Amino acid sequence: MAIENVISRAIVQNFSTKFQENLIVDAAIVGGGPSGLVAAKYLADAGFRAAVFERKLAPGGGTWGGGMLFNEVVVQQDALGILDDFKIDYAEINDAPGYYTLDSVEMASGLIFGAMKAGAKIFNSVSVEDIVFKDRQVAGLVINWTPVERLAMHVDPLTVMAAAVLDGTGHPSEIMQLAINKAGVKLDTETGGILGEKPMWADKGEVSTVANTLEYYPGLFASGMAANNVRGGYRMGPIFGGMLMSGKKAAGLIAAKLSKP
């Protein structure tokens, strides 16, 4: 067989196997930002089948660009254990004990690598355009290739069934919005809807990111900025400890729910 055929066949066969193995998952994570990637790693570590669906070619979300393209980010002491689990380096800020800087490219690549090495699968250039909603439960995702979405091609999507769906889509909370708009669900918030993100207040935002990481509807969880948008939390800029801890909390909530008999 010509080497050209060997290459093409190997890619098509391996992708097909990987895709088929992830058409039914324990946790479908929408968005490969920091909170989604951290959730994926800890779920995979705990033995759950976790798949991340990321719209962009490169997962990592808002981590790559640091602050205003200065490719450094800050984390606080409480999140260091997570960086250690991913083997990502950091250094304490001289005049701000308890706060650390790290290279944003190392963080993005480290989170991606760590999630994959734990056994999570990442499907990049895949956009989630809808949810599967059955028996008053969020039961899966409707997906299509991002180029199909971007070019508005009239191509039907495919589906992934999941026991739990995590909205890790960042500021717009796209999956929560879809659940409200298309399934008419009431989320577990004061109004039943999305309260909307508040302006920047870094320390409050860090706390609320973790506090707002919750199951908002049976089968539907939110992490990171998506969680803050749903429950009216503050934004925080390029400090990422809250995002990492939110991902770990989301993994714990999902694992607890899926482990119930």
Would you tell me which residues interact with ligand 48F (CB under 6 A)?
30-36, 53-56, 61-63, 127-128, 168-170, 174, 224-226, 235-238, 240, 243
As measured in angstroms, the least distance from the Cβ of 249 to ligand 48F is 12
Tokens representing 206 are 């860090």
Rounded Cα gap, residues 204 and 48, in angstroms: 32
CA proximity to 24, closest of 221, 130, 165, 178:
165
As measured in angstroms, the least distance from the Cβ of 110 to ligand 48F is 14
Q: Which is nearer to ligand 48F, 168 or 255 (CB)?
A: 168
Q: Which is nearer to ligand 48F, 63 or 163 (CB)?
A: 63
Question: Measured in whole angstroms, how far is the alpha carbon of residue 89 from the centre of its chain?
Answer: 22
As measured in angstroms, the least distance from the Cβ of 233 to ligand 48F is 10
Is the separation of the CB atoms in 28 and 158 below 8 Å? no
Q: Which is nearer to ligand 48F, 13 or 209 (CB)?
A: 209
Q: How many CA atoms lie within 13 A of 48 on its CB side?
A: 28
Q: Which is nearer to ligand 48F, 62 or 219 (CB)?
A: 62
Q: Which is nearer to ligand 48F, 63 or 76 (CB)?
A: 63
As measured in angstroms, the least distance from the Cβ of 24 to ligand 48F is 19
Strand order in the sheet with 72-76: 72-76, 99-103, 91-92
Considering Cα of 46, then 32, then 181, then 20, what sign does the dihedral take? negative
Rounded Cα gap, residues 18 and 152, in angstroms: 26
As measured in angstroms, the least distance from the Cβ of 8 to ligand 48F is 27
